[in-house]
Amino acid sequence: MKQAIFFISVSLIIMSSCTIQKKQADLIVHNAKVYTVDDAFAIQQAFAVKDGKFVAVGTDKAILGNYDSENIIDADGKSVYPGFIDAHCHFYGYGCNLLKRADLVGTKSFEEVVERLKEHYQKNPSEWIEGRGWDQNDWEIKDFPTKELLDEAFPDNPVYLTRIDGHAAVANSVALKRAGITAETKIAGGDVFVSNGEPTGILIDNAMDLISDIIPQSNEEFDRNALMAAEKNCFPVGLTSIHDAGLSKETVDLIDIMHKEGSLKMRIYAMLSPSENNLNSYVKNGPYTTERLTVQSIKLFADGALGSRGAKMIEPYSDDPDNSGLFMHEPDYYKNICAKAIEHNFQVNTHAIGDEANRFILNLYAEYLNGINDRRWRIEHAQIIHLDDFKLFGEYSIIPSVQPTHATSDMYWAEDRVGAERIEGAYAYQQLLDQNDWLPLGTDFPVENINPLYTFYAAIARKDLKGWPEEGFQINNALSREDALRGMTIWAAKAAFEEDVKGSIEAGKFADFVILDEDIMISEIEIVPNVKVIATFSGGEQVFKSE
Ligand SMILES: [Zn+2]
């Protein structure tokens, strides 16, 4: 069996009669096709690991000739890549979902949502009933749902269900009442939908906080379990580092503790939510770095999302002529935080979807960045860019941080929202890459699947998992395989100021790598989403191995 060769065996290689003293390594991998993702994109055969880092990368002859180890892996010619990095996700939130929220992804109607909730409630009875992942665009009736069916099924419990993008929610009457939401409720940067003089149950963006703020807080034990549950699913898909887009000081502190005690191994680039507590602690103290944690950025929201028409557009929506979306905050709010970030050497990473939101943030950043620079301030998603504005990314070294599976999830309805002209500047990944010549890639999970191979496939094929559309969605903006791999490794590391310690297989870097069953750089692109991870290593330690 092919798999059998991967178990780590005690080396029987005995030093030959020659007198070369071999150096001792903790691990050697050889007979591999190693995509180093170094500057030259060199392919090698072998490497040695010592104290959690690569110490040498080269030919089989060079590595086996110079190093010895009790752990030698013959990779049987399989392809090896730097550990994958997700440059934008919600790792902790995903873990929370796994533990307590009903999974509503893929529901085909609101009736099915209610059925899934009932099943969830039977298995996990709790006062608050939470769910996440519904998307009315997947339903036959594509209108937002309303509270009535929820009231019927759950007359006594508060129910709160967030949309797939996290930018809209539907609540039942009990939840609305507890939050004090009425038809008169007005909230800046948010919306409470009203019909016939009462709230329909739909809350957009900042209005969602009225309910999420009153849901009982989790405790430390829950948070620990959530982080471990997320990690348990992420290692098997080859992720060894993630950027979490929006964490509190408490969660970051807990991650740091868990890293130090060894109960959590995922390397985490923590983007801080802009709370007073975060600003007065981590931000004030300046960047914080350990081997597994970096805290050096603030996550902001400029606008909402396209699916819920909260994305801020220059002109109104093509399918909703009275609506052009919303900004989450006043300009001064963003200015204050940008000034603090400059003062304390922090990066600013702002969610911007609509063309007006992107234009606003590009121009705002420009005021602080003064031309070409190395602050690496990012725009998360950079989803719809006015054709005149692309150049600002390059002129001010502003880094777009994009999620290729968003393109293939939204392609069915995105043009309805923005029309034939504006769609040209949407999900324009190659055009964005051209601005700075590097582009970090992520998924935004749990908005999308956690699997980085879906990202790779979507970036290159620009098709859904069923192979639609045949010619690819706006295929002129497809990335090359080499660039897609860089986006998931070295460029994602660079987006976190970590390119000197991770993101490629080079001597001196953390020995984070993944062995795949197929070579995704040359295989048919259609098979990539189903390629199996054979093993994942973090700091030279095997953290996942396929059965
Ligand atoms: Zn996000």
- Residue ending a domain, among 212, 233, 249, is 212
pLDDT at 166: 87
Q: What is the distance in A from the centroid of ligand 1 to the CA of 31? A: 39
Q: What is the distance in A from the centroid of ligand 1 to the CA of 245? A: 6
pLDDT at 365: 98
Q: What is the distance in A from the centroid of ligand 1 to the CA of 281? A: 23
- Could you give the CA distance from residue 260 to residue 265 in angstroms, rounded to a whole number? 9
Residues 207, 236: one domain? no
Q: What is the distance in A from the centroid of ligand 1 to the CA of 64? A: 44
pLDDT at 12: 45
Residues 412, 513: one domain? yes
- Cβ atoms of 205 and 487 within 8 Å: the answer is no
Q: What is the distance in A from the centroid of ligand 1 to the CA of 305? A: 10
**What's the DSSP call for residue 175?**
H
Q: Report yes or no on 76 lying in a domain.
A: no
Q: What is the distance in A from the centroid of ligand 1 to the CA of 155? A: 32
**What's the DSSP call for residue 236?**
G
* Residue 3 backbone dihedrals phi, psi, to 5 degrees: -60, -35
Q: What is the distance in A from the centroid of ligand 1 to the CA of 352? A: 10
Residues 194, 157: one domain? yes
Residues 232, 163: one domain? no
Q: What is the distance in A from the centroid of ligand 1 to the CA of 163? A: 13
Tell me the pLDDT of the chain (547 aa) as tens digits.
Answer: 444 455 454 444 444 445 578 999 999 999 999 999 999 999 999 999 999 999 999 999 999 999 999 999 999 999 999 999 999 999 999 999 998 899 999 999 999 999 999 999 998 888 999 999 999 999 998 899 999 999 999 999 999 999 988 889 999 999 999 999 999 999 999 999 999 999 999 999 999 999 999 998 889 999 999 999 999 999 999 999 999 999 999 999 999 999 999 999 999 999 999 999 999 999 999 999 999 999 999 999 999 999 889 999 999 999 999 999 999 999 999 999 999 999 999 999 999 999 999 999 999 999 999 999 999 999 999 999 999 999 999 999 999 999 999 999 999 999 999 999 999 999 999 999 999 999 999 999 999 999 999 999 999 999 999 999 999 999 999 999 999 999 999 999 999 999 999 999 999 999 999 999 999 999 999 999 999 999 999 999 999 999 8
- Residue ending a domain, among 146, 181, 212, is 212
pLDDT at 218: 81
Q: What is the distance in A from the centroid of ligand 1 to the CA of 88? A: 6
Question: Which helix (H) or strand (E) is 313 found in, with range?
Answer: none
Tell me the residue range of the domain where 369 lies.
220-538
Q: Report yes or no on 528 lying in a domain.
A: yes
> In the chain, helix, strand, coil percent, each to 5?
35, 25, 40
Q: What is the distance in A from the centroid of ligand 1 to the CA of 207? A: 18
Q: What is the distance in A from the centroid of ligand 1 to the CA of 529? A: 22
Q: What is the distance in A from the centroid of ligand 1 to the CA of 38? A: 29
pLDDT at 19: 57
Q: Residue 115: which CATH number?
A: 3.10.310.70
Residues 514, 386: one domain? yes
Q: Which two tokens stand for residue 14?
A: 């005995």
Residues 228, 194: one domain? no
Q: Report yes or no on 354 lying in a domain.
A: yes
Q: What is the distance in A from the centroid of ligand 1 to the CA of 351? A: 7
Q: What is the distance in A from the centroid of ligand 1 to the CA of 215? A: 21
Q: Report yes or no on 24 lying in a domain.
A: no
The total of structural domains in the chain comes to 2
Q: Report yes or no on 40 lying in a domain.
A: no
Q: Residue 450: which CATH number?
A: 3.20.20.140
Residues 270, 401: one domain? yes
Residues 366, 504: one domain? yes
Q: Report yes or no on 85 lying in a domain.
A: no
- Cβ atoms of 505 and 51 within 8 Å: the answer is no
Residues 229, 336: one domain? yes
pLDDT at 15: 45
Residues 234, 203: one domain? no
pLDDT at 125: 86
Residues 237, 374: one domain? yes
Residues 330, 352: one domain? yes
Q: Report yes or no on 279 lying in a domain.
A: yes
Q: What is the distance in A from the centroid of ligand 1 to the CA of 360? A: 19
Q: Which of 396, 451, 406 is nearest to 311 (CA)?
A: 406
Q: What is the distance in A from the centroid of ligand 1 to the CA of 90? A: 6
